[in-house]
Chains A and B, each alone.
Chain A
Amino acid sequence: MQLNAKIPAGPLEDKWDQHRFDMKLVNPANKRKYTVLVVGSGLAGASAAASLAELGYNVKCFCFQDSPRRAHSIAAQGGINAAKNYQNDGDSVRRLFYDTIKGGDYRAREANVYRLAQVSVNIIDQCVAQGVPFAREYGGVMANRSFGGAQVSRTFYARGQTGQQLLLGAYSALERQIGLKKVAMYSRCEMLDIVLVDGKARGIITRDLINGKIERHAGDAVVLATGGYGNVFYLSTNAKGCNVTASYRAYKRGAAFANPCFTQIHPTCIPVAGDHQSKLTLMSESLRNDGRIWVPKKAGDTRAAKDIPESERDYYLERKYPSFGNLSPRDISSRAAKEVCDEGRGVGPGGLGVYLDFADSIKRLGKNMIAERYGNLFEMYERITGENPYEVPMRIYPAVHYTMGGLWVDYNLMSNIEGLHVLGEANFSDHGANRLGASALMQGLADGYFILPYTIGNYIAGAKLNPVTTDHPAFAETEREATNQINQLLQINGKRSVDDFHRELGKVMWDYCGMARNDAGLRTALERIPQIREEFWRDVRVPGSGTYFNQELEKAGRLADFLEFAELMCHDALMRTESCGGHFRTESQTEDGEAKRDDENFTFVAAWEYKGVGTKPTMHKEVLEFENVHLSTRSYK
């Protein structure tokens, strides 16, 4: 396997400019002769599909929801970063670049991250032009707030619904192209596999979720913008449908999967309430701007929060990380919460929670101001827990939230399979081992609006693309494999439901490949996962048939891929004996329990090559070169 990151030469600041000039262009009159298949309609997919159609390409776009507007991006609450420096507080492209590289614990590519910071400013302008109602100050200019891991105010937001508003912006651009018949939209349509012809990505196989029809789509390039794989843990903040199928199928066809073990655990989620729990709900990190996190000093203290006097509370983030305090990055805040709960100081049922307390802010700013800032989040919390956070502190606990790993891509966002481009959370590119808050929305839109539309043209103009139709034998073969898997799932007719298996897998992953990992645990997981998988294929019950709207069948197909993918994550976590960002190996910590990186041995991207189900994949290294930042120990003290 050849991995060439294709990072342009020259100074960091000029790389993207120079590259844009060097890239080949497709003649405007020819663009309509090319078809691009965009799988995914989240921020990354919708922005890409709309922009490509505007340029004149023929676009087909796919999503499994009933409408592109419902992609998981819709759920993002907190905000989107951009180096606008509207607040005049010392922000700049370079600072956003630096914060992102540092926040990612020096496991991301400099050139990609710098470009991301550069285009961040265009994103805001683009979204405003589309009518995204960002929060405004009384003077009419946009408001900003600060987010974890940054000391400047560069986060733009639309109440607590930033993802929704940004996605509606991209969706409206997409719908406009659909109306103009330049994009053919396939909703409730799931990609099952990717089709390669002469080593190039030339098509996909899909299933119409309403009538079960398996269909073939041919194109000149394939774009995967299919989101992250946090649901491998069963419980996560991701929407229920989020899955790894598209990425994993591409991996099985030869695309390298990079840093699969890099998972982000978000510190502020509503704790689990019982066995029926089907997903976890995030409370936006922005709450940490005004909420103070604490637990009782004494283990086993069961008094109500209001009965615990100040002197017996431990504001542990403020104590341990005085300069960032409650705004310390996510990985650090999450581990700190786990630590205090492991010490028996957790609050709420089961002791798996810490307080996020607004009492001081309400006193200082007034209830109205707090309601203005977080009203809808407070309501959501009350609906779920039955408790009123204006009166009692919220209870929060970390939960799986985002996956930094993903398909390996070069500077052009193309995987090692020619023609296969990967955007948004589905790729591995910009966040290293930990993503800063408000940076995923930025990356998804950067990829879709401002990077892919250029780089895909370069690919198409340079590649020798023979005409390929769905009659090509590769389509028949791939379709046959997809159909076989469906039939197999339907025939098992065992005793256990898909969810039952998924919960079991999720628990293994959370216990052994979650917030803290170690050699013995990961080896246990690597033993357990194949056993669960074997049992799944022997004893799962998928009711009904494949010819109608069968949600159990959809879930079964997704779980089948998670059951293989989970092993890949554990291999990666086992290999990386250092701690970095969201990946915490208990063997690699400092005396006071902070993550200890091993730059000498691990300053690389681990890109894995598929070798067969149950066989250990082969690792390829992309060594990371840092020419512009100095690798320092991340300190938020």
Chain B
Amino acid sequence: MKLKLHIWRQDNAKTAGKMVSYDANHVSPDMSFLEMLDVLNQELITKGDDPVAFDHDCREGICGACSMVINGIPHGPQRATTTCQLHMRSFKDGDEVYIEPWRAEPFPVIKDLAVDRAALDRIIAAGGFISVGTGAPPDGNAIPIAKEISDLAMDAAACIGCGACVAACPNGSAMLFTAAKVSHLNLLPQGEPEKDQRVINMVAQMDAEGFGNCTNYAECQAACPKEISIQFIAKMNRDLIRAKLREGNNAGSGKTGGA
């Protein structure tokens, strides 16, 4: 099939970008979306043009590298599917396809469709961990964890850190990403001791990075390739309120630090 592509081209964060149109004339329905772009890039290179830069690595929907807004939707039209797993059978001959990078203040464009998402790593560094050093922890079965809890934690832990939730949100909020990590760890007994500090620190970092507020559009959930539920945002908000309350109480009684 033949497609008309309109792709965002931008040299770097300091220059302005623009949409440029290309014809893709040899698209097979069995191609992945990225393979379709590979073919375009091969043509551009042969012609002496600059190929389109985009992030990708695993091409299996798990590393979270790929990141394109396709016809206005982060990761494109197919539900629960990353860009790299989207296949061209989702399109039909003659379609026009608009391809743009994640757009959000904290994600400056590096080139074309590739953006800098280091802000997400910094949110994790602020508290997305359990403070246990390598050593001799107790036997893995010492604390039984109910299957429902473990499964729910896993639902949250499935986040691939792609940032589509941010790109989808009219406010550029990173709540879904942050809530997924907070919930994963706060749900588990191992995460209990640092529960309060974790949520306070991660939310503070998220704000410091310049991500917007959540006003319940729920666009994030719709765009999320791993179907992370916005219930985790509600859970994070509860954790945060409780943590703040306890922090207040502790401050009153002169104690410091997390529970």
Contacts and interface: CB of A to CB of B under 8 A. Distances in A.
A380 interface: yes
Given A131-B184, A133-B188, A495-B46, A67 B161 contact: yes
A598 B24 CA distance: 54
Interface in B168-201: 184-185, 188, 190-191
Contacts of B80: 379
A446 to B, nearest CB: 12
B62 A74 contact: yes
A514 to B, nearest CB: 21
A499 B60 CA distance: 20
A133 B139 CA distance: 15
Interface residues of A, number: 81
**Most chain B CB neighbours (cut-off 10 Å) among A135, A175, A210, A552:** A175
A495 B42 CA distance: 11
B243 to A, nearest CB: 18
A326 interface: no
B129 A176 contact: yes
Contact of B57 (A72, A129, A379): A72
B50 A544 contact: yes
A175 B137 contact: no
Contact of A142 (B35, B116, B140): B140
Interface stretch (B93-101, B143-151, B249-257): B143-151
B126 interface: yes
A141 B144 contact: yes
Given A137-B147, A159-B154, A552-B51, A70 B130 contact: no
A131 B137 contact: no
B110 A131 contact: no
Contacts of B128: 172, 175
B39 A276 contact: yes
A308 interface: no
Contacts of B58: 70, 72, 74-75, 239-240
Contact of B42 (A75, A129, A500): A500
Interface string B30-58: 11101110110010011011110101111
Nearest to B42: A497
Interface in A267-301: 273-274, 276-279, 281-282
A54 B116 contact: no
A68 B128 CA distance: 14
Contacts of A273: 28, 30-31
A234 interface: no
A89 interface: no
Nearest to A448: B134
A279 B59 contact: yes
Interface in B232-250: none
B5 interface: no
Contacts of B147: 136-138, 140
Given A133-B154, A278-B35, A50 B46 contact: no
Contact of A551 (B53, B62, B188): B53
**A54, A127, A131, most chain B CB atoms within 10 A:** A131
Contact of B118 (A66, A141, A159, A380): A66
Contacts of B129: 130, 172-173, 175-176
Interface stretch (A99-107, A163-171, A398-406): A163-171
Contacts of B85: 380, 383-384
A414 B135 CA distance: 22
A543 B59 CA distance: 24
B63 A239 contact: yes
A109 interface: no
Contacts of B53: 549, 551
A450 interface: yes
B12 interface: yes
A133 B148 CA distance: 11
Given A176-B131, A384-B87, A70 B45 contact: no
B136 interface: yes
Contacts of A134: 140, 150
A551 B38 CA distance: 12
Nearest to A52: B134
Contacts of B111: 548-549
B60 A140 contact: no
A499 B161 CA distance: 28
A158 interface: yes
Interface string A317-347: 0000000000000000000000000000000
B50 A276 contact: no
A165 B134 contact: no
B114 interface: yes
Contacts of A241: 57
A75 B140 contact: no
Contacts of B49: 543
Given A69-B121, A548-B11, A131 B130 contact: yes
A600 B116 CA distance: 56
Interface stretch (A28-36, A118-126, A423-431, A572-580): A118-126
A155 interface: no
Interface in B82-105: 85-87, 89
A456 to B, nearest CB: 13
A383 B146 contact: no
A458 interface: no
Interface in B66-90: 78, 80-81, 85-87, 89
B124 A125 contact: no
A410 to B, nearest CB: 22
A84 interface: yes
A486 interface: no
B190 A543 contact: no
Contacts of B136: 122, 125
Contact of B125 (A168, A178, A274): A178
A58 interface: no
B4 interface: no
B230 interface: no
A159 B152 CA distance: 12
Contact of A549 (B57, B87, B110): B110
Given A133-B184, A386-B89, A142 B141 contact: yes
12 contacts: A50-B134, A54-B133, A66-B114, A66-B118, A133-B151, A139-B144, A159-B154, A164-B160, A239-B63, A386-B30, A453-B134, A543-B48
Interface of A: 47, 50-51, 54, 65-70, 72, 74-75, 84, 86, 122, 124-131, 133-142, 158-159, 161, 163-165, 168, 171-173, 175-176, 178-179, 185, 187, 210, 239-241, 273-274, 276-279, 281-282, 379-380, 383-384, 386, 449-450, 453, 495, 497, 499-500, 541, 543-544, 548-549, 551-552
Given A165-B154, A497-B42, 19 more contacts: A66-B55, A70-B63, A72-B58, A74-B64, A126-B137, A130-B129, A135-B150, A135-B154, A136-B145, A140-B145, A158-B157, A164-B62, A185-B121, A187-B121, A240-B58, A278-B34, A383-B87, A544-B50, A551-B53
